[in-house]
Amino acid sequence: MKGMVNLLTQRSPRPVTLVIMDGVGFREDELGNAVAAAFTPNLDTLLASCPYRLLNAHGTAVGLPSDSDMGNSEVGHNALGAGRLYPQGARLVNEAVQTGAIFEGNAWRRLVGYCFQHGATMHFIGLLSDGAVHSHIKHLEAMLDQLAFKEKLPRARVHILLDGRDVGATSALEYVSRLESRLQSLNAQAGVDYRIAGGGGRMKITMDRYEANWGMVELGWKTHVGAQGRRFASAEAAINAFRAEEPGIIDQDLPPFVIEDEAGNALGPIRDGDSVVFYNFRGDRAIEISRAFEEPDFSHFPRTPYPKVLYAGMMEYDTELHIPGNFLVEPPHIEHTLGEYLCSGNMRQMAISETQKYGHVTYFWNGNRSGKIDEKLEDYFEIASDIIPFEQRPWMKAADITDKTVEAILSKRYDFIRLNYPNGDMVGHTGVFSAARIAVETVDLCLGRLMAATRKAGGILLVTADHGNAEEMFEIDSKTHKPKLYPSGEIRAKTAHTLNPVWFIVFDPTGENSVEFNPKIAKPGLTNVAPTIMQLLGVEPPQIYDPPLLLFKQ
């Protein structure tokens, strides 16, 4: 990257600070809108007095297959840091499945061959939904079809992680029924033995991220590998039992379960000689379970049992550390990120969030790259997240993030600071409206402190988000435009991300930059943010980037 940055003649105020209000989108309708319902005097002041524009943060604007695909934090931060569009996981896997390339690759051939060599079982572990954020059920179905009809492998087992986060909060049985029908059809038509082995809620087992709670992964290991846990005759029976025991529980929080046969034997423990596919395509919640299967020197929990298997992920979840060693689909290769350009221009940067989103402002922002780009020019700060249901503490670690960021702004040590407040997203996923409102108010309170520090330091503050969530907390009937209700009469909570745009606000209290948004950019999106940051830093954006958003007035 040396020599690739051209400095403009007019240097701008420092630092430029980017606030990512994770999961805080814009929606005019106030019904179920925790953002509109929240007391947000600082956000209101910014919107009343500063130039701003709405950005697309979902679908094709962030590299997903279609505009019916909700945005998510992974692709959102990729787009923010990359400055231009890259096809993302769901789209890449869709194409690989449609063309058959996924089944022609070496990884798939090795997995199948390993099973035949040992007379063993193929296991599939992953999120069972069509949310298309971490996985898609159609990818699992395509692999099962291929395995039964083309490969003619006699035995397979599926370990299901229940969603309720990227799809309806209590929609698990829809996907279980769909999968059970598919398995029964394959068993009847192809003469194979394919069944669900067990599973649990995604926020209870297996899908931890950023090493926030290795206990989740350990519990997943015991469930998937050791077949240890509460036994049921079917996944449906397990889900119904848990719901009866704890009314109101949502799918992501359902306890783990193991399916047993008529004789009381577990249907699918993972054993020596088996092959295992983790079929999620998104990386953050797939890395830890991949490490558990692959790392020889592993110390986070006792792997008992520890069978000798061949493991593969849907994608390479960490392209720098090469996790996992085997994967079915090539991930996007993101190069020349904003961080790289700024480092090549000798600019100091800081990134900060709490554990839940720390990897987003570092790993995903840097194009799925672990570690720093330049140790001398970058400081990354991780505030440890509390291990507690987010609706019980909706303020999370926002104050701690703000303390450190205010200190950094006033120090004038950095050219560019980026931070993520996870509250709108993590609390929004709980489906608890009152908690989501507090989460948004927490972020707003912190914005006020950042505005004051920016004013004192003579810097610039940019406020945006990676996708929507908290602004749409109810499932709305498309015909009546009223909330959907449970049989009990309670409003059906929406826990998934949204298709709504996000704000991009420019707060420049110095008055040194009189700016307006370029009207020629008809449909701006998150990819326009990186070149805009370069504008404000006095750096000429590279030609490979999407156009910057601003015009500078005389």
- What pLDDT is recorded for position 5? 46
pTM value?
A: 0.82
The rounded percent of the chain whose pLDDT value lies above 90 is: 86
DSSP state of 62: G
Residues identified as active-site: 73
What pLDDT does residue 553 have? 75
Q: What is the mean pLDDT of residues 19-47?
A: 97
Which of 340, 461, 378 has its CA nearest to residue 14?
Answer: 461
Backbone CA torsion sign across 159, 160, 161, 166: positive
Instruction: Calculate the alpha carbon distances from 46 to 29, 311, 447, 535 in Å.
Output: 20, 50, 10, 20
The two most distant CA atoms of the chain are separated, in Å, by: 81
Q: Does a cis peptide bond (omega within 30 degrees of 0) precede residue 247?
A: no
Query: Average pLDDT, stretch 412-426?
Result: 97
Using DSSP's 3-state secondary structure scheme, residue 311 falls into strand
Length of the chain: 554
Sign, Cα dihedral of 27, 250, 285, 371: positive
> Average pLDDT in the 112-136 region?
96
Query: How confident is residue 513, by pLDDT bands cut at 50, 70 and 90?
Result: low
CA distances from 433 to 428, 441, 475 (A): 8, 12, 12
| Average pLDDT for 455-474 | 97
Instruction: Please say whether the beta carbons of 248 and 197 come within 8 A.
Output: no
- The string of pLDDT tens digits covering residues 257-299 is 999 999 999 999 999 999 999 999 988 899 999 999 999 999 9
Summarised one tens digit per residue, pLDDT across range 318-366 is: 877 889 999 999 888 899 999 999 999 999 999 999 999 999 999 999 9
pLDDT at residue number 554 = 58
Note the pLDDT of residue 12.
66
Q: Is the pLDDT of residue 7 over 70?
A: no
Q: Are 308 and 272 in contact (CB under 8 A)?
A: yes
Query: CA torsion angle for 362, 367, 371, 376 (degrees, to 10)?
Result: -80
In angstroms, the Cα distances linking 464 to 157, 187, 250, 353, 528 are 43, 50, 29, 15, 12
pLDDT averaged over every residue in the chain: 94
**Tens-digit pLDDT profile for residues 125-156:** 999 999 988 999 999 999 999 999 999 999 99
pLDDT at 287: 95
Q: Which positions ≥6 away from 186 have C-beta within 8 Å?
A: 144, 145, 148, 149, 192, 194
Helix, strand, or coil here: 281?
Answer: coil
Residue 498 in this model has a pLDDT that exceeds 90: yes
pLDDT in the model for residue 200: 98
Q: Which of 5-19, 85-99, 355-369, 490-504 has the lowest mean pLDDT?
A: 5-19
pLDDT band at 2 (very low <50, low <70, confident <90, very high): very low
Give per-residue pLDDT as tens, 146-186: 999 999 999 999 999 999 999 999 999 999 999 999 999 99
Domains belonging to the chain, first-starting first, are 16-87+334-552 (3.40.720.10), 90-329 (3.40.1450.10)
Please compute the mean of the pLDDT values over residues 73-83 and round it to a whole number: 95
Report yes or no: 350 and 314 within 8 Å, Cβ to Cβ. Answer: no
